[in-house]
A and B are shown apart, each in its own frame.
Chain A
């Protein structure tokens, strides 16, 4: 029987899963790009990003380009957690098929 406790609950939530997925595709994502790609409100996105940051899965960089820009990236722990989460999902699908 599959152990569902292996699923990382921080990532499993739909909004945070979307954020983690996008962060896994590029070295970093500006806040505005994440917002337009995920079609989330500012408040919703900030709350999810804070949760991920508090869990040590996401790092934040604030820089001054032509205007202030906040970018987010996966930490090494975050990348590992996302890969593990994917592996668990695959195991669930495989186990259900057998």
Chain B
């Protein structure tokens, strides 16, 4: 090998190793597991609870605060858990929590999260609740894909799964809304009927995506003992 070829080869090795070493996992496997379990449990528990409420008080609107409050609280818990797990991993690597990788990840993730927040404020009405999960799932998928250039491949796959599920959820939300409006039982208020159908649909979507997808992701990337 000529000295030039050797130099180029060494520079290539250095570049690829540096790229590999600067890969940043913005969502830890442990936090994904926590989020997944919470999302599945909350979907089932509150789905049942709301189901009973609907039977008892079929003429009343579902509570906006209960629905958004529940998912807002879960988001907060998982975000805090993720920060703690990332901090532990950063300490182990001898890095600060707000490392260049973390800053890069936040820069990539925040625009999609901001859009999700803005769109959520637009659907802050009982009859629009059916669209909230579609917005969250799509924006979360976009956020993960925005970080794919420096994230491990598993996070990019998770992003694609959420994006596809988000598009499918939007379609489901629209068809459910239209279908529901054509099948309103006699004496029911269309708005209340649509809101209740929306909330059941939303709970199922949240369990499937934020629950199941995160559990699968956690199972796939759970740190092996040798890597800890």
Contact = CB atoms under 8 A, between A and B. Distances in A.
A82 B11 CA distance: 12
B7 to A, nearest CB: 4
B11 A29 contact: no
Contacts of B22: 25
A33 B22 CA distance: 13
Given A21-B14, A26-B93, A37 B7 contact: no
Nearest to A89: B7
Contacts, number: 63
Nearest to B224: A36
Contacts of B14: 17, 21, 86
Interface residues of B, number: 21
Contact of A24 (B4, B18, B227): B18
Nearest to A82: B14
B189 interface: no
Interface of A: 2, 4, 12, 14, 17-18, 21-22, 24-30, 32-33, 36-37, 65, 71, 73, 86, 89-90, 92-93, 96
A17 B2 CA distance: 18
Interface string B7-38: 11011011001101110000000000000000
A18 B13 contact: yes
B227 A36 contact: yes
Given A18-B13, A21-B14, A92-B7, A26 B226 contact: no
12 contacts: A2-B3, A17-B13, A18-B13, A26-B93, A27-B94, A27-B95, A33-B93, A65-B92, A86-B14, A93-B4, A93-B8, A96-B4
A93 B95 contact: no
